[in-house]
Amino acid sequence: MGTSNGLYRYLSQMGESLLELTQSLSVLLLNEFDLEEAYANDKRRLLEETHVLNLDTQKFFENLSVRFSSLLLTNTPSWGGDNVDGLTP
């Protein structure tokens, strides 16, 4: 009977080890899922920020273009007068 008791203990330890292993694997898989979800959220946030930055850049250059155009119009030299440099009114 000593052999069957030892075998039972061995199988019991194997069962406990297998349970610990599957629990650890579950935790690892959950952590990986959390990381993938976090990565997806970071990627989504980065895409949104890039889109906003892109829009801000477009607005900046549109505003710059409008300002430059208005500066050209307001600082156009009058060809009949003394305003040769285009800066003095």
d(CA 14, CA 89): 94
pLDDT (mean) for 19-27: 86
DSSP 1: -
Check the CA dihedral 63-68-71-72 and report its sign.
negative
Q: What is the pLDDT of residue 19?
A: 87
Q: What is the pLDDT of residues 27-86, one digit of tens each?
A: 888 888 888 888 888 989 988 988 888 888 888 888 888 887 777 777 665 555 555 555
Give the closest residue to 18 by CA, choosing from 3, 10, 80.
10
- If residue 43 lies in a helix (H) or strand (E), which one and from where to where? helix 2-74
User: 48 with 56: CB under 8 angstroms?
Assistant: no
Q: Where exactly are the structural domains of the chain?
A: 24-71
Q: What is the pLDDT of residue 62?
A: 83
DSSP 80: T
